[in-house]
Amino acid sequence: MDHAIADIIPPVISRSVTIALITTRELVFKDFALEPNEKAMLRGMHMISSHLSGSLAMVTCREPLKVRITHYLKEGVDSLEVDAKTKELFV
C-alpha cells in the first residue's frame, strides 16, 4: 500500500493543486468582486482552494491507486512459492 500511494501522490497533488488554484482565482474574481473586506476574501480563497484540491485529488487518484495496488498485490503473490491454482485465488 505504501509503495502504491508513494507512486501516485506527486503527480496527483501537482495536478490537483494547479487546477484548484486556477479555478479558485476565477471563482474569487467572480464571487468576491465587490467584497470590501479583504480578510473575508482571503478566508474564502483558502476554503475554496483547499476543498477543491482535496476533492480533485480524491477523484483523480482513485483509478491510478487501484491499478498500482493491483500491481503490487500481483507482485507479492508471484513472489510466493505456491502452485498456479492457489495463485489464481489471490489474483
pLDDT tens-digit series, residues 5-16:
888 889 888 888
Return the pLDDT at 91.
61
64-79 pLDDT, tens per residue?
899 999 888 888 877 8
Q: What is the spatial distance between Cα 13 and Cα 50, in angstroms, rounded to a whole number? A: 12
Phi, psi of 20, deg, nearest 5: -65, -40
For residue 58, what is its C-alpha cell?
A: 480524491
> What does pTM read for this prediction?
0.68
Helices (H), the chain: 2-31, 38-79, 84-90
For residue 14, what is its C-alpha cell?
A: 501537482
